[in-house]
Amino acid sequence: MISKQAIGAAAGIVIGLGVPAWSGHGPAQAASIADPTRQSCSREQEAANKQITLNSLTSPQDYYNLMHPDYIQHNPDALRFEQINHLHGRDAMAKLLEVMGKLGSRGPPPAFLAKRTIMVAECDLVMVLRQIEEPDPQNPGKTYTAFGFEMFRIKDGKLYEHWDDDRIATPPPAYLTAPIKDLKLSGR
């Protein structure tokens, strides 16, 4: 069993990662993750929050359906997409999922989750550690194992807030360099 101290340490690591200052969601906002004044909750509530998270990761439509109307995203790709297209939150995520699908990108649920290796919850926060096989830049044709995380805040039975370890790729994908109206999407 994972102790509350281990969960706190994992949250501390997440906070320490921070998010890009340009996003408007800097470390001051991220620090609220570990708010010591937050109410405690039951193991049953933590289990329910884990289940909501698992249910959201079965398909893009399930993810969208389980998003809170006031959904907050901290993923830098999603934030850049919001900025370029003047969209926000749930609406931006729906459009991003659609665009990524049309461009054939590896993207949000279920492909991004890879192999779930551990899931922990502390009240309204649920963190999923995932195992990823990445191409080895020093050994062409081979891969190495890496780990990443997805963390969600659950509110009113919905995904309210999301953090992960994503970074904007170099070069960035097309959907992060131009507004949707300027992209060549299949099926448009």
> Within a domain: residue 9?
no
Count of the separate structural domains present in the chain: 1
Q: 106-135: per-residue pLDDT in tens?
A: 555 444 556 777 899 999 999 999 888 889
Confirm whether 27 is domain-assigned. Answer: no
**111 is a domain residue:** yes
Q: Is residue 23 a part of any domain in this protein?
A: no
With respect to residue 92, please indicate whether it lies within any of the assigned structural domains: yes
Q: Name the least confident of 81-85, 97-101, 123-127.
A: 97-101
Per the model's pLDDT, the better-predicted residue between 158 and 26 turns out to be: 158
How far apart are alpha carbons 92 and 1 in whole angstroms?
37
Assigned domain for 25 exists? no
Q: Is residue 24 part of a domain?
A: no
Range of the domain at 79: 42-182
Residue 157 sits in a domain whose CATH number is 3.10.450.50
Q: What is the pLDDT of residues 125-179, one digit of tens each?
A: 999 998 888 899 999 999 999 998 999 999 999 999 999 998 888 888 888 888 9
Give a yes or no: residue 78 inside a domain: yes
